[in-house]
């Protein structure tokens, strides 16, 4: 009788462990939320810097750890050197691809050549290169986070190696919420702010303005 009670107790414990284990398994059917930068902005004509020179934008490059759709974050209050990513949220494409699309749209709007004012065909186009260096959310506490955007920009003549001009852009924005949605919104705004900075920088460059 005693042995039967022990066996019954062990069986009940085993069932309980199995139930808890099933509850802790990943939810394969949970939807993955995908973010992009939203619809293209419609700036007023007098708010967009004009550029008369021919310009080609190379695809934005990124280090291997940024070359994925993962939305990355760091817990600075615990270990700022460790990168983590959200399991249930991601970008619709790697950040470099999203920035490339947004940047080319902005350059097309700012270019006089797209408005019926072509430059001479023998005028060699300049090439814009963007190297993305940081694109992540940083938690200074569990309830507070910000995003960090950093990219190095260089302007060269086509087939030339030495940059005519170069600059590193660093931007920070506070995330409205300490989660993936807050990161996506703040990084999207930081990307648009970066592109505005690049356009103004280019507009001050001889041969581009």
Report d(CA 17, CA 32) in Å as an integer: 29
Cα distances (Å, whole numbers) of residue 200 to 89, 204, 206? 33, 6, 12
φ and ψ at residue 67, rounded to 5 degrees: -90, 60
Report d(CA 28, CA 87) in Å as an integer: 11
What pLDDT, on a 0 to 100 scale, did the predictor assign at position 41?
79
pLDDT at 177 over 90: yes
Homologous superfamily (CATH) for 34-203: ABC-type transport auxiliary lipoprotein component (3.40.50.10610)
The CA angle 196-74-76, to the nearest 5 degrees, is 105
Higher pLDDT pick, 99 / 163: 99
The band of 17, judged by pLDDT with boundaries at 50, 70 and 90, is very low
pLDDT mean over 39-60: 73
Higher pLDDT pick, 86 / 125: 86
Helix (H, G, I), strand (E, B) or coil at 48: coil
Q: Are 107 and 55 in contact (CB under 8 A)?
A: yes
What pLDDT, on a 0 to 100 scale, did the predictor assign at position 54?
74
Q: Choose the weakest-confidence range: 81-85, 154-158, 173-177.
A: 154-158
What pLDDT, on a 0 to 100 scale, did the predictor assign at position 113?
53
Helix (H, G, I), strand (E, B) or coil at 15: helix
The band of 146, judged by pLDDT with boundaries at 50, 70 and 90, is very high
Please, what is the average pLDDT of the chain? 83
The residues, ordered by sequence, that sit 6+ positions from 92 with a Cβ below 8 Å of its Cβ are 34, 35, 36, 69, 98
């Amino acid at each position: 009788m005693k042995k039967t009670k022990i066996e019954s107790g062990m069986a009940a414990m085993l069932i309980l462990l199995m139930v808890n284990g099933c509850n802790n398994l990943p939810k394969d059917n949970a939807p993955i939320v995908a973010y992009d930068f939203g619809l293209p902005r419609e700036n007023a004509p007098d708010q967009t810097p004009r550029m008369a020179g021919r310009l080609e934008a190379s695809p934005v490059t990124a280090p291997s750890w940024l070359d994925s759709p993962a939305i990355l974050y760091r817990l600075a209050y615990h270990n700022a050197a460790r990168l983590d990513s959200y399991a249930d949220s991601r970008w619709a494409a790697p950040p470099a691809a999203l920035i490339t699309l947004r940047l080319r749209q902005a350059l097309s709007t700012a270019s006089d050549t797209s408005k019926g004012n072509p430059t001479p065909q023998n005028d060699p186009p300049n090439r814009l290169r963007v190297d993305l260096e940081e694109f992540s959310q940083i938690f200074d506490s569990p309830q507070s986070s910000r995003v960090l955007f950093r990219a190095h920009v260089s302007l060269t003549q086509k087939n030339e190696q030495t940059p005519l001009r170069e600059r590193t852009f660093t931007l920070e924005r506070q995330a409205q919420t300490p989660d993936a949605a807050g990161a996506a919104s703040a990084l999207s705004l930081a990307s648009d702010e970066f592109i505005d900075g690049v356009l103004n920088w280019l507009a001050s460059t001889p041969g581009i303005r």
